[in-house]
Amino acid sequence: MRKHISLRLIVTLMLLALLAAGCGSGNNNNEQAQETAGSSSGASASAEQPDKDVTLTFWHHYSTASAEEKTLKEVLIPKFEADHPNIHVNAVSFPWDQLHQKLQIGASAGELPDVARLDIIWVPELQVNDMLIALDDKFDDFEEVSKELLAGPLSTAVVGEHTYALPLNTNTKVLFWNEKMLKEVGLNQPPATMDEFFAALPKLKEKFPQSWGFGEPALRGWNVLPWLWSNGGDVLSPDNTTAQGYLNGAASVEIATKLQQAFSQGLIGGFKPGDTPVTEGHAKDVYSMMAEGPWAYAQFSDQFKDFKPMAGSFPEGKGGSVQVLGGEDIGILSKEHPEESWEFVKFMVSEAAEVEMGKVGQIPVNLKAMENPDIQAISYFAPFLEQLTTAKARPPVSAWPQIDDVLNDAFMRIFLQKADVQKTLDGAAKQIDDLLNS
């Protein structure tokens, strides 16, 4: 009997607790709303520093518990907050695809961060939805800040006539090769040309039947573009209006066919569900070669301390040795705190911050940072910097994520279903054109 009276009591108490919690989060919103009113009137009155405490939300996708995230949380943010006592930064980590999704629906959900770290391929689609502030337009000191940054990466933030973000870090992929395994088939150097590369694969398979000569973790643009480009092919025309004649052009078909043959002979792998993950596999002699970014070094030193990675340029084909340009930009989405957000953005691209992040594998875009002795001392950056000189960015079209899906499907079909290469790429080109014209 007693038990049930107290059960009722507990239920009531819980509901009251919930009410309190609910009101609590409601109150937070009210406080921020008041701050907004206060600081925006302050900003319009004068462009000086507001005197109220501002908390910025910064969304990023540095992996949880990674070295980059630790640097952000333990070195960079404290330094920024010390320099700007009235600004606090609340950094939130999301996995890459979740961050993309949250940004996409954030606008309609009414919850966007003030500042966000963006994959360079997201900039066009966010810009098209009016989510990013045009930095060159809004801030007077934009010129002097952007002058300090690498031109190539800076261009990834340009859409039309304005610049909607600043580059934060750049990267590309290089060829990692397993010294031990290659030596055993008589190769002291990694293959320098595509011909050497395709010649090496069967030799490796013969010597190591349980392994694959090359591992590619997926078949999206990020993975297939270097192959197409290095063979002189492409996905889209130079003006990015059509895929006809490019994705299904002779050069693209040629290299896709070569890769298809290699796959059917068991020489390459890594992208089917169930395959051993490529980076880990490379360290365990499962994949003799792979193309990966600087983060692989961090992973090796973290998880596979005994493995000595070797990296060199991506094999040169008819179109050269052309890898895909990656990287992240940092953009401002804030409607309420653009000034403080700009302070944070400037800080993140400053020499000091770039050097710190450089130490944990994030290749800097700040010119002074690249000259910094600490960065110069990082020997493994060398092949990346070399590769960066010829790296190409993915087409800055807002439909790129969907185009990526089309590429993925097409190449999956080519490899897993041994589909006719020309026909499949013809179909994909048509789908892409439909996307570009919609």
Partner 1 sequence: MYAKKLRRDAYLFFLPGFLFVCWFIVYPLVQNFLYSFYDFRLTKLSDKTFIGLDNYNAIFHEKLLWISLRNMLYYGLLTVPGQMVLGFLAAYALYRSFPGVKFFRAVYFVPVVTSWVVASLVFKFIFTDRGFLNYLLTDKLHWTSAPVSWLSTPFLALTVLALLGIWKGIGWVMVLYLAALQNVPQSLYDAAKVDGAGAWQRLVHITIPSVRQTSSFIQVMLIIGSFNVFTSVMLMTGGGPLHETEVLLSWMYNKAFKHYDLGYAAALAYLFALPIALLNWLQMRRDKESD
Partner 2 sequence: MIMNARLSRVSIGIALLIGAAISLYPLFFMLSTSLQPSAVILEYPPRLWPSAPTWDHYKEAWNSQQFGQSLLNSVFVTVASFFALFALSSMLAFAYSRFEFRGKRLSWLVLMACLTIPVMTLIIPQFVMTRDMGLYDSYWALILVYTASGIPFTTFLLKGFFDSISREIDESVYMDGGSSRLLFLRIVMPLSKPAFVPAIIFNALYIWEEFPWALTIINDPAKRTLPVALANFQGQYTTQWGVVFAGSLIALLPILFLFLFLQRYLIRGMTAGAVKG
| Main-chain phi, psi angles of 328, to 5 degrees | -130, 145
CB 141 within 8 A of CB 349: no
Q: Could you say whether residue 9 binds partner 2 (CB under 8 A)?
A: no
Minimum Å distance from CB 374 to partner 2?
Answer: 24
Q: For the chain, how many residues are written?
A: 438
Question: Based on CB atoms, which residue is closest to partner 2, 50 or 326?
Answer: 326
Question: Based on CB atoms, which residue is closest to partner 2, 145 or 218?
Answer: 218
Helical (H) or strand (E) element with 128 = helix 123-128
Q: Could you say whether residue 4 binds partner 1 (CB under 8 A)?
A: no
Residues 11-50 within binding reach of partner 2 (CB under 8 A): 11, 14-15, 17-18, 21-22, 25-26, 29
When binding is defined by CB under 8 A, the residue of 9, 92, 105, 385 that contacts partner 1 is: 105
**In angstroms, rounded to a whole number, what is the distance separating the alpha carbons of residues 56 and 87?**
7
| Main-chain phi, psi angles of 105, to 5 degrees | -90, -10
Q: Could you say whether residue 181 binds partner 1 (CB under 8 A)?
A: no
Q: Could you say whether residue 412 binds partner 1 (CB under 8 A)?
A: yes
Minimum Å distance from CB 273 to partner 1?
Answer: 4
Question: Based on CB atoms, which residue is closest to partner 2, 246 or 287?
Answer: 287
- Count of other CB atoms within 10 angstroms of residue 143: 9
- The binding track of 45-84 with respect to partner 2, each residue x by CB under 8 A or -, is ----------------x-xxxx------------------
Residues 39-98 within binding reach of partner 1 (CB under 8 A): none
**In angstroms, rounded to a whole number, what is the distance separating the alpha carbons of residues 2 and 345?**
60
Q: Could you say whether residue 285 binds partner 1 (CB under 8 A)?
A: no
**In angstroms, rounded to a whole number, what is the distance separating the alpha carbons of residues 358 and 378?**
9
CB 391 within 8 A of CB 230: no
Q: Could you say whether residue 276 binds partner 1 (CB under 8 A)?
A: yes
Beta-bridge mates of residue 392: 324
**In angstroms, rounded to a whole number, what is the distance separating the alpha carbons of residues 431 and 412?**
16
- Count of other CB atoms within 10 angstroms of residue 273: 4
Question: Smallest Cα–Cα separation from 256: which of 33, 380, 426?
Answer: 426
437: tokens are 């014209």
When binding is defined by CB under 8 A, the residue of 286, 360, 388, 399 that contacts partner 1 is: 286
CB 360 within 8 A of CB 133: no
Stretch that binds partner 1, among 47-55, 99-107, 136-144, 156-164 (CB under 8 A): 99-107
Q: Could you say whether residue 101 binds partner 1 (CB under 8 A)?
A: yes
Residues 315-374 within binding reach of partner 2 (CB under 8 A): none
CB 288 within 8 A of CB 177: yes
Map residue 209 onto helix, strand or coil.
Answer: coil
Minimum Å distance from CB 21 to partner 2?
Answer: 6
- Number of residues located near partner 1, criterion CB under 8 A: 18
**In angstroms, rounded to a whole number, what is the distance separating the alpha carbons of residues 283 and 305?**
10
- The binding track of 264-303 with respect to partner 2, each residue x by CB under 8 A or -, is ------------xx-xxx-xx-x-----xx-xx--x--xx
CB 301 within 8 A of CB 295: no
**In angstroms, rounded to a whole number, what is the distance separating the alpha carbons of residues 212 and 178?**
12
Map residue 92 onto helix, strand or coil.
Answer: strand
Binding partner at 32 among partner 1, partner 2, none, C-beta below 5 to 8 Å by kind: none
Q: Could you say whether residue 2 binds partner 2 (CB under 8 A)?
A: no
- Give the strand pairing for 287-292 and 174-177: antiparallel
Minimum Å distance from CB 360 to partner 1?
Answer: 27
Residues 121-160 within binding reach of partner 1 (CB under 8 A): 129
Q: Could you say whether residue 96 binds partner 2 (CB under 8 A)?
A: yes
Binding partner at 437 among partner 1, partner 2, none, C-beta below 5 to 8 Å by kind: none
When binding is defined by CB under 8 A, the residue of 44, 45, 85, 110 that contacts partner 2 is: 110
243: tokens are 């895929």
**In angstroms, rounded to a whole number, what is the distance separating the alpha carbons of residues 327 and 87?**
27
**In angstroms, rounded to a whole number, what is the distance separating the alpha carbons of residues 428 and 412?**
12
Minimum Å distance from CB 109 to partner 1?
Answer: 8
The contact set with partner 2 (CB under 8 A) reads: 1, 3-5, 8, 10-11, 14-15, 17-18, 21-22, 25-26, 29, 61, 63-66, 92-96, 98, 102, 108-111, 276-277, 279-281, 283-284, 286, 292-293, 295-296, 299, 302-306
The contact set with partner 1 (CB under 8 A) reads: 101, 104-105, 107-108, 129, 272-276, 286, 402, 409, 412-413, 416-417
